[in-house]
Amino acid sequence: MNKAIIISVANHKGGVGKTATTVGLGGALQSKGFRVLLIDADGQANLTDSLGFSMDMDKTLYEALKGKEELPICKHEDGIDVVPACLDLSAAEAELMNEPGRETILSSLLQPIRKNYDFILIDCPPSLSLLTLNAMTASDSLIIPVQAEYLAMRGMGKLVNVIDKVKKRLNPNLKIEGILLTMYDGRKNLHQSVAETVQETFKDDVFATMIRTNVAIAESTSAKQDVFHYAPKSNGAQDYLKLADEIIAHHNL
């Protein structure tokens, strides 16, 4: 591959599995021999913390967005590359507000390193903020995790409207990679009903793979690993492997 496929994992609703999906999918793609970079673009720094990196590092995405550093890349012991975040990242919203081309800063930072990777996955904050706009502007496509719960569809219209505006104004090539049902339990009628509603509403945009509720995903965070390296035979790891296969097939890789 000449340059990385950049995929943002985005939903302005919190607690839907964005970070778990970024880390789990990244681990699955890496296990298949792809060069993967994970970027933590969330001021809560959950991805950074979940992979065992300090949130008090001197060089993070925040310093790069401010123009003080090049994009800092840390290597995890399992071999995956990570651009960490810090809690100051939330302040970048206000600090960059008057910068010219503020929505394209991350895209500019990524251009010199795209050739070094096959996939770059961006974990977005749970808001439709400047950081999320930067991620969408830099990306080829979006994965939208949707929790298999009653309120899952609430706000999806707003998110789709924002995606349409980004396509018109900032990134005409942006696509929806897929809508991903997460925390799914096939034994629950409610989860089955939500899955059917999502599939009927978004049709071909919905991944065939669903990420099942799995304790290993939560445990892997405590172990500071992705679920694939922590428990490769778990349902969580197997589901993210299937998701990786879907994405690989979609891009004819």
Mean pLDDT to the nearest integer, 141-156: 85
d(CA 86, CA 41): 9
Eight-state DSSP code of residue 125: -
200 CB-contact burial (10 Å; exposed 0-12 / middle 13-18 / buried 19+): exposed
This prediction has a pTM of 0.95
| Exposure b/e, 134-147, CB count within 10 A at least 16 = b | bbbbbbbbbbbbbb
Query: Which percentage of the chain shows pLDDT scores above 70?
Result: 100
Number of structural domains the chain divides into: 1
Give the count of beta carbons closer than 10 Å to the beta carbon of residue 188: 13
238 pLDDT band, cuts 50/70/90, is very high
CA–centroid distance for 204 within its chain: 20
Q: How many CB atoms lie within 10 A of CB 119?
A: 23
Which residues form the domain of 31? Answer: 5-250
Give me the CATH number covering residue 26. 3.40.50.300
Average pLDDT for the chain: 91
